[in-house]
Structure formats: C-alpha cells, structure tokens
Amino acid sequence: MRDKESILTKMIKKAYDISGPLDEYKRSEINRIGNNAFMMLWIYSSFASFCTLLVISLTNIDAYDILLGLLLSNLIFSIDIIGGYVIYATRKAKLSEIDVTVDNYPKQKRLLKKKSALQGIYWGMSMFLIMGVISPNFSSLFSWISFFIWLSSGALFGLIMYWYHASNLKKLKQCDD
C-alpha cells in the first residue's frame, strides 16, 4: 500500500519543482535553500520598510502612491530575485531533474507541453486580471491590443516554461541484461 503524501509535502514539491519522493538529501537541500531565501527576504523587507518610513516622514507624496510603490517593489523582489534564486539553487543541487527512460521520453515531453501550456494560460489570465485591478483606466483593459499583448505574453511564458522543464529531463540509458 502506498503512503499518502501530506498537503505540505505536495506544496513543497510543487514550489521547488521536485519530482519523486522526498528523501533526506532533498529535504536538507530544500531547508537550506528556503532558509537562504527567507534571510534575503527578511533583510529586504526590513530595508524596504525603513525606506518607506523615511519617505513618508520626509516628503509630501501621497501615502497611496508610496504604498503602491512598496507593493510593486515587494512583488518584483519576491518573484524575480527570490524566485530566481530558488530556481538557480534547485538546478544547481540537481533537485529538479526528472529521470526518464528512452521509451518514456516522448510521453514525458507531451506531458510537459500540456503542463507548460496550462502555465502560460494561467499566467496570461492572471496578469490580465491583475492589470485590470491596478490600472486606473479600466476601459483600456478590454481593448483588443491589451488582450493580444497578454495572450502573446502568456504564450511566451508557456514556451519559457516548456524550455525550462524540458531542460530538466534526463534520459536514462537502457541496460541490456
């Protein structure tokens, strides 16, 4: 009988893009990477909060504009810097490699195409909706140009995700016994 994975384990494997069971090596590497990312995020948050307090107290800029800038800089830092570090560290530790036999390779590539297409669609729709909330000119969100931009951005994101996942595939040579 197969042991069920906890929801936390599934979330960790999804966040760090790990396939297969979590052994002690993978867990220790995940803990190391997560701790490093947390420390970078904590230092950045402390610095950004201090700078925000300084700007609010020393200038006459509207608090809404300052908080919107803080929100956007936090999103950019956490997604680009922290996310980039996590991707780099998991690839360097070879945690995201997927071992595939030669016979199973085409099937795995088809699954990656489907996964990447869904990621591209999700990203494009999410950005479309987020820009609708942030944009002061709500009517420009529903223009054909805006729709085409987010559709092509989602397709580009899907292609990048396919390249990333396909580069993690590792063909295993078959042994003739």
Query: Residue 1 — pLDDT band, cuts 50, 70, 90?
Result: very low
How far apart (Å, rounded) are the C-alpha atoms in residues 96 and 93? 8
pLDDT tens digits, 30-55: 999 999 999 999 999 999 999 999 98
pLDDT tens digits, 145-166: 878 888 899 999 999 999 998 8
Residues 9 and 23 in one domain: yes
Last residue of one domain, picked from the residues 79, 96, 113 = 96
Report the percent of the chain where pLDDT is more than 90.
44
Phi, psi of 133 (to 5 degrees): -75, -40
Residue 79, pLDDT above cutoff 60: yes
Whole-angstrom CA distances from 16 to 58, 76, 84, 114, 149 are: 41, 19, 11, 19, 29
Residues 72 and 104 in one domain: no
Give Cα 13 distance to the centre of its chain.
Answer: 13
Residue 131, pLDDT above cutoff 90: no
Residues 11 and 92 in one domain: yes
Residues 92 and 105 in one domain: no
Work out the burial of residue 124: count CB atoms within 10 Å of its CB; fewer than 13 is exposed, 13-18 middle, 19 or more buried.
Answer: buried
Residue 146's domain spans which residues?
98-177
Domain count, the chain: 2
Q: Residue 81: what pLDDT?
A: 94
> Number of C-alpha atoms within 13 angstroms, CB side, residue 71?
8
Residues 63 and 116 in one domain: no
Query: Residue 176 — pLDDT band, cuts 50, 70, 90?
Result: low
Q: Residue 138: what pLDDT?
A: 65
pLDDT tens digits, 87-100: 999 999 989 888 88
How far apart (Å, rounded) are the C-alpha atoms in residues 29 and 9? 14
Structure tokens at 77: 């830092």
